[in-house]
Amino acid sequence: MPTALITGATSGLGAAFARRLAADAFSLVLVSRDALRLAQTADQLKLRYGVDVEVLPADLATDDGLTRVESRLREGVDLLVNNAGFGHRRSFPEVPVEQEVRMLKVHCEAVLRLTLAVLPGMRKRERGAVVNVASVAAFFAHNTYSASKAWVVSFSEAAAAEVGDPRIKIMALCPGFVRTEFHQRAAVDTSGIPGFLWLKADDVVREAMRDLALGKRVSVPDLRYKAIVAVGRMVPRGLQARVSAKIGR
């Protein structure tokens, strides 16, 4: 039975990945800061899908948390989903530097270190996959969030090319607005976002798993967001940044 480790596994896309992979008969290792919610999520998945679920409480913004997850990955995992992340309510440079550094720690350093920890075992077994959750924001210059997600996309593409083994897949997942707790936790007002731009977490995960099976290095779920990214790439960077800043506010 294959094993998947998912960070940020108790809500949003992380929880959707857990449901999908449990339904596909994966054993799960769930990582989150919230130990109580982690245990509740594990119990629900065991009861519904009858799979083995291991819980690993860890704060990926700390060295201790990262080290604990790295150690578990070195024991052997078939699929790593780097999903943990968060947003800021305020825009750069209004966000305190400590919060900006924490974001870089979770979005960039954790993705780097956990990917490096899991790859030796995958290369030895000659199979495995890593999904690094980024965002459509990666393609639009706005704030530290978009910059960190742009790093995730670039890193994932580079890592896939460097590994150079089609049996080991590394993919950046770039969804748009998804109905999760993400914006609520960041205290972001979403009332101005048109309804047609919202995606369902389970739909995003379904497309992500399809694109992973196809060997794609970057997955942008939904035709609407594929079109938005395509148009955005044709817009001058200066204009793109102004529009992104206005939408972000």
Strands 218-219, 168-173: pairing kind: parallel
Q: Is 225 considered catalytic here?
A: no
| Backbone phi and psi for residue 190, each to the nearest 5 degrees, phi listed first | -105, 10
Contact 86, 182 (CB under 8 A): yes
Catalytic residue among 49, 139, 140, 145: 145
Q: What type of residue sits at position 71?
A: S
pLDDT tens sequence across 123-143: 999 999 999 999 999 998 778
The mean pLDDT of the chain is: 90
The arrangement of strands across the sheet holding 53-57 comes to 53-57, 27-32, 3-7, 79-82, 128-133, 168-173, 218-219
- Report the predicted TM-score, pTM, of the whole model to 2 decimal places: 0.89
Strands 53-57, 79-82: pairing kind: unpaired
Contact 69, 114 (CB under 8 A): yes
Residue with tokens 């999760």: 180
Pick from 152, 122, 119: which is nearest to 135 by CA?
A: 152
Radius of gyration (C-alpha) of the chain in whole angstroms:
17
| Backbone phi and psi for residue 176, each to the nearest 5 degrees, phi listed first | -90, -140
| pLDDT surpassing 80 at residue 63 | yes
Under DSSP, the state recorded for 224 is H
Task: Please report which confidence band the pLDDT of residue 195 belongs to, taking 50, 70 and 90 as the band edges.
Answer: confident
Task: Please report which confidence band the pLDDT of residue 92 belongs to, taking 50, 70 and 90 as the band edges.
Answer: confident
Domains in the chain, CATH or no CATH each = 3-248 (3.40.50.720)
